[in-house]
Amino acid sequence: MDFGTGTGDKHAVTTRNEPAQNSAAGRSAMENRPEKRGLAPGLPGACPPFSVPGGKASPLDGDLLASCVHCGFCLEVCPTYKLTGDENNSPRGRLRLWREEAEGRLPYDPWTDFYTSECVGCLACESACPANVPYGQIFETVQHEHVVAKRSRPPYLLRMAAMLAARPNLFSWVMLPARLLRQAGLLPHRFLFAGRPAAIQSTAAYSQQLMEQHRPTGPRVALLTGCLMESLFREINFATVRVLIENNVQVTVPRDQGCCGAFQEHTGMNGVPVLQEQNRRAFQSLDVDAVVSNSSGCGLALGKAMQGTLPVRDVLDFLGELGPVKRPIQPSAARVYVDLPCHLIHGQKVAGIPANVMDATGYTWELAPMARDCCGSGGVYNIQKPENAREILARKSEFLDSAAGEPLILATSNHVCMMQWNSARSGGLVKRPFTVRHIIQLLDPGPELTPAPRTSNTSRK
């Protein structure tokens, strides 16, 4: 077909190959296609008619949808295209489906809904795109439109999780048993890794305590604690506070901050503008140099909310500019493999983890093979599309069985990616023992921290 003119069959992008039959994800995709579920594409009644409440037109701009030049560079980096070989299951394929729907040349049907739901949302296509198509912005809008029009509906448990995420205090109390289980090393779910999160004390209270004890004088930052990070993986927030204060950084943790909205964006649910406004009120009045985040997905979402006010920085990128305090040299046999979160390098457009940060851990380290490729977590993609997510991870994680190093550490900078990587261990994809760590934990001086001499990183005038 002719990609340039937009003519051709009703789905606009031909299937180059059928989904790979030797792939579990490919077989799953075949079994879940609309016609396999008794829904013939385009037939009356196959899908509820699309509409936006109030009769409003779609917020998608026609020029935005038409900005794709169909070069195909995105195919090489798209995890679902690599799994299935189906061009409809690629960024340029989805863009054409969405464009033809918006222009009225394609009926609303389950095929488009299916291919939309297959997208991981990793944004690797944005880094590969020479035309700078804002695929992530378009994808989030389409997802939200599909939910509003009841073309798709997040599962009940995800809707409940979104409700809790918007109420951080309640979420924290609900997750107390999970924090206690993690402390005890009892891990009932494949995504849960062992840790020592504080049962009761919040990151805000802990930060205030350490600030009063050590009184750093350097740059001032506000820390985004996150909803899931604070409620379940709080020890990573505590480690972040310690590392910043050790490096003479003044830390404040506003207690009225809320969920960044990433969870709602991943699922297409309502509530993002309300959460963004809450965080603007919580952060923009603070006398700080930046807001820092230890979760790449949360940092990306908050950056959208704070655009034009305060800069939102990845905490490791921020520390890289300061030159972090170095930890003692670790045993030479130990090896750290670094995986780069998609929403850090493709979303926030950060080049990677600064080398001086990794050197400061004291470990021998290197980038993991396929470090710039998606691990399959995709926010909640590994919950909604577990077979796809598992196969994406299988390809990335297979190197660990033969990798050099003992002990073996897989380090990254996003807690959701950590959960996905842990499932490679708990789910049997990797047979060899390894641990998953946040890079900030490798820099952590521990509770006995002693701030560095205050010869640099002095306070602003």
Calculate mean pLDDT across residues 161-165.
Answer: 93
pLDDT at 451: 72
Give the integer Cα–Cα distance in Å for 375 and 423.
11
**For residue 156, is it within any domain?**
no
Contact 79, 392 (CB under 8 A): yes
First vs last C-alpha separation in the chain? 63
Percent of the chain scored above 70 by pLDDT?
85
Helix (H, G, I), strand (E, B), or coil: what is residue 4? Answer: coil
pLDDT at 40: 35
Based on the fold, state whether residues 259 and 395 are members of the same structural domain. no
Element (H, E) at 117: helix 110-118
- Give the pLDDT band of residue 141 (cuts 50, 70, 90): very high
**For residue 316, is it within any domain?**
yes
- Of 322, 345, 372, the residue that ends a domain is 322
Give the integer Cα–Cα distance in Å for 226 and 292.
11
State pLDDT tens for residues 111-138.
999 999 999 999 999 999 999 999 999 9
pLDDT at 450: 78
Based on the fold, state whether residues 317 and 359 are members of the same structural domain. no
Based on the fold, state whether residues 316 and 285 are members of the same structural domain. yes
pLDDT at 25: 53
User: With left for phi above 0 and alpha for psi between -120 and 50, is residue 144 left, alpha or beta?
Assistant: alpha
More confident residue, 38 or 269: 269
Give the integer Cα–Cα distance in Å for 296 and 375.
14
- Of 322, 345, 363, the residue that ends a domain is 322
Give the integer Cα–Cα distance in Å for 24 and 32.
12
CA 234 vs. chain centroid, Å, equals 18
- CATH value at residue 82: 1.10.1060
CA distances from 338 to 283, 438, 449 (A): 31, 10, 25
Domain that holds residue 361: 335-442
Based on the fold, state whether residues 380 and 306 are members of the same structural domain. no
DSSP for 250-318, written as a single string: EEE--TT----SHHHHHHT-S-HHHHHHHHHHHHTTS--SEEEES-HHHHHHHHHHTTTSS-EEEHHHH
Give the integer Cα–Cα distance in Å for 45 and 99.
22
Based on the fold, state whether residues 355 and 258 are members of the same structural domain. no
**For residue 235, is it within any domain?**
yes
Q: What is the mean pLDDT of the chain?
A: 87
State pLDDT tens for residues 214-252.
999 999 999 999 999 999 999 999 999 999 999 999 999
Helix (H, G, I), strand (E, B), or coil: what is residue 438? Answer: strand
CA nearest to 452, candidates 344, 323, 337: 323
State pLDDT tens for residues 347-402.
999 999 999 999 999 999 999 999 999 999 999 999 999 999 999 999 999 999 99
CA nearest to 125, candidates 173, 69, 177: 69
pLDDT at 294: 98
Residue written as token pair 């979303």: 347
- Of 133, 148, 163, the residue that ends a domain is 148
Percent of the chain scored above 90 by pLDDT?
79
Contact 378, 118 (CB under 8 A): no
Q: Is the pLDDT of residue 457 over 50?
A: yes
Based on the fold, state whether residues 118 and 74 are members of the same structural domain. yes
pLDDT at 33: 52
Based on the fold, state whether residues 29 and 132 are members of the same structural domain. yes
pLDDT at 59: 58
Based on the fold, state whether residues 143 and 189 are members of the same structural domain. no
Type of residue at 120: V
pTM to 2 decimal places: 0.86
**For residue 11, is it within any domain?**
no
Based on the fold, state whether residues 317 and 188 are members of the same structural domain. yes
- CATH value at residue 356: 3.40.50
Based on the fold, state whether residues 387 and 281 are members of the same structural domain. no
Contact 445, 246 (CB under 8 A): yes
Calculate mean pLDDT across residues 198-203.
Answer: 97
pLDDT at 41: 38
Calculate mean pLDDT across residues 324-340.
Answer: 96
- Give the pLDDT band of residue 454 (cuts 50, 70, 90): low
Q: Is the pLDDT of residue 36 over 80?
A: no
**For residue 274, is it within any domain?**
yes
At 8, list the tokens: 């051709």
Based on the fold, state whether residues 348 and 309 are members of the same structural domain. no
**For residue 1, is it within any domain?**
no
Q: CA geometry: angle at 455 spanning 450 and 457, to 5°?
A: 85
- Give the pLDDT band of residue 21 (cuts 50, 70, 90): very low
Based on the fold, state whether residues 214 and 289 are members of the same structural domain. yes
Give the integer Cα–Cα distance in Å for 340 and 417.
9
Q: Is the pLDDT of residue 49 over 80?
A: no
At 95, list the tokens: 């863009």
Question: Per the structure, how many domains does the chain have?
Answer: 3
Q: Is the pLDDT of residue 31 over 60?
A: no
pLDDT at 28: 54
**For residue 436, is it within any domain?**
yes
Give the integer Cα–Cα distance in Å for 71 and 74.
8
**For residue 259, is it within any domain?**
yes
State pLDDT tens for residues 166-181.
999 999 999 999 999 9
